[in-house]
Structure 1
Amino acid sequence: MQLKYLKTLLTPQACAARVSCMAWAPNNTKLAVCTVDRVVLLYDEQGERRDKFSTKPQDSKYGKESYVVKDMAFSPDSTKIAIGQSDNIIFVYRIGEEWGQKKAICNKFVQTNAVTCLLWPEEHAIVYGLVDGKVRLANTQTNKSSTIYNTESVVVSLASNVSGKGFLSGHADGTVVRYFFDDEGSGDSQGKLLTHPCPPYALAWAANGIMVGGCDKKVVAYGREGHILQTFDYGRDRTEKEITVAASSPGGQSVVFGSFDRLRVFDWAPKRGMWDEAKPMEILNLYTITSLAWKKDGSRLCAGTLCGGVELFDCCLRRYIYKNKFEMTYVVLSQVIVRNLSTGTRVVLKSYYGYEIEEVKIMGKDRYLVAHTSDTLLLGDLLTNKLSEVGLQG
């Protein structure tokens, strides 16, 4: 995975002005950025600011200085945003499908403690963690919330798996807990999975394991059942500071960690069965990276910083032009974005089994995609955007 700087979406300030959280919409059309002023800025996929709205305190009599926004997530249909706040509440805002539509609160979930982090993996289910160690579920259809499980330590991070059917919670005592809505036949266990040496603020659940970073300046790769696979230790590097945040690519083949002035990229090498670290991207005066957000098609990564800056990066393994009509972008080995240069339309061709896509051809008067991996054949219709993957026998 190669990161290439594209543009600055938000100019950093000369003081601390932390970007608290960011999120890409599942349909790839919107990026939401929450500033230190508790305002959510909305950008289009080209990185142009198109809209914004202000968040609200739980109780208006305490004013806007009474809380901070801790995390946010788009709904699966990309029309709503859930905002988790330190004043013990989650607001869900309806932002609509088009730019400029009126923003309105459609759900509110009052809590007994401050919200620390949240995910929105399924249609009506928002998963969130609290300061008291509880991991809870908010149902936007019934407007009710319930506790999934209790722990004795602050929830510092949440990470979903690639399918969204399971998630991890990281806690201040180093504990990482795994929970499934559906284990999809994996047979993997639920409950406490591992204990990391420090609070796992940088937590990612990739397709081939779990990666954790923190204040000890180490990145540790764990296997499916919590055993250590690899350790990357940067403690002897005097320029390295604590690792603050992590993001897994949508396909789970790459993980990016953010620290001070630095982004570290790790790619899964399927033939060797281990993680490879790419050359780190070092950006002078970027300062501490406080938030990362990966576009759902895997083609863009955004980094928010302690000084209020937001930087946009292009992500790809390789890119080439096919027949002078189509741009082929290999985001990861198992995923290719095919873009029609004349119309701008695109199709995300992906092996759902995680196999490396070896070759892509466009046939039938530039309508049909045909690609193959070592074990499957991928077919696509550019006109209807329908895709299939079938196994190759013998």
Structure 2
Amino acid sequence: MQLKHLRTLLAPQDGPSKVTALAWAPNNSKLAVCTVDRIVLLFDEHGEKRDKFSTKPANPDLGKKCYQVTGLVFSPDSTKIVVGQSDNIIFVYKIGEQWGDKKVICNKIILQSAVTTLIWPVQQPTFIFGLADGKVKLGNVKGSKSQTIYSSESYVVSLTSSPSGQGILCGHADGTIVRYTFDNDSELSKGPVCKHSCSPYALSWSLTSIVAAGCDRRVMVYNHSGKPIQQFDYSKEEDEKEFMCSATSPSGQTVVLGSFNRLSCYRKLMVW
């Protein structure tokens, strides 16, 4: 097995283009990308930008630039987007089924710490988010409560789920990647999987591997036991910046990594 990649620059007209969060819709029809200007861009399955909407601060009195969007995830029916923010809040936006449908806030969860990352595993009734205080929690789009499922003393920098939705990986500031499974009968062990070379801000779990990257501009591919099996090294490329986020396609075949002004797409190749 090897991965190949297709790299795409974000258009200059999209404004400041540092990518802070991205998510793929479960129905495979939309890719949501949020940039440093706190605007969510919506792309279709061909990579064409079709729509966008602006996010809002938890406290409007502090101004529109007092926060960053740190996590995005679609609801299972692909009609809502959960937005995690650095100002201790999560908003749920109803975006509709058609391009151009009105975007409205339908729920919010107020927290005691900044949201650092956000996912919604398939076949799970709730979404999962990580906080700056090291906690990983469950959240519900129909309520304003959350429940802690996993705690660490290290800042949570990333979360990703397995293609089946029965497990998650938690990336921490100290480089540790930890696995938590919902299925007690899973053959995969719980606990630390490996120690990445830097904080794994970009972390994805594909069908056959774990992909991790961060500020050292090296994309590492691990097997499910945590053994390194492949590397893409961009550390000597002057125009490449640190990797900050990633998303896995619903099929588990493709991984997209976001950096300063670039999307890197890695696709699986089967070698017989």
Name 1:39's counterpart in structure 2: 39
Alignment CA distance shift 1:107-1:28 (3 Å) = same
- Measured after TM superposition, the shift of residue 160 of structure 1 is 1.4
TM-score under structure 2 normalisation? Answer: 0.82
Name 1:215's counterpart in structure 2: 215
Unaligned runs of 5+ in 2: none
Distance 1:88 1:237 in 2: 37
TM-score under structure 1 normalisation? Answer: 0.59
Write the mapping of 1:1-394 to structure 2, written as runs, cut at 5 A: 11-12=11-12, 16-46=16-46, 49-121=49-121, 122=123, 124-182=125-183, 185-226=185-226, 228-232=227-231, 234=233, 237=236, 239=238, 241=240, 243-244=242-243, 245-255=245-255, 257=257, 263=264, 265=266, 267=268, 269=270, 271=272
- Measured after TM superposition, the shift of residue 93 of structure 1 is 1.0
Distance 1:220 1:74 in 2: 26
Q: Which has the higher contact order (CA 8 A, sep 6+)?
A: 2
- Measured after TM superposition, the shift of residue 253 of structure 1 is 4.2
Alignment CA distance shift 1:170-1:76 (3 Å) = same
- Measured after TM superposition, the shift of residue 145 of structure 1 is 0.4
Equivalent AA in structure 2 for residue 137 of structure 1:
L
Distance 1:51 1:250 in 2: 21
Distance 2:50 2:197 in 1: 43
Residue-pair matches, total: 267
- Measured after TM superposition, the shift of residue 84 of structure 1 is 0.5
Distance 2:4 2:222 in 1: 23
Tell me which structure has the larger Cα radius of gyration: 1
Q: Is the 8 A contact 1:254 1:268 kept in 2?
A: no
Sequence identity of aligned pairs in percent?
Answer: 51
Q: Using the TM superposition, name which of 149-158 and 26-35 deviates more.
A: 26-35
Distance 2:258 2:64 in 1: 29
Unaligned runs of 5+ in 1: 272-394
Distance 2:239 2:49 in 1: 33
Distance 1:102 1:96 in 2: 7
Q: Is the 8 A contact 2:19 2:36 kept in 1?
A: yes
- Measured after TM superposition, the shift of residue 100 of structure 1 is 3.8
- Measured after TM superposition, the shift of residue 105 of structure 1 is 1.8
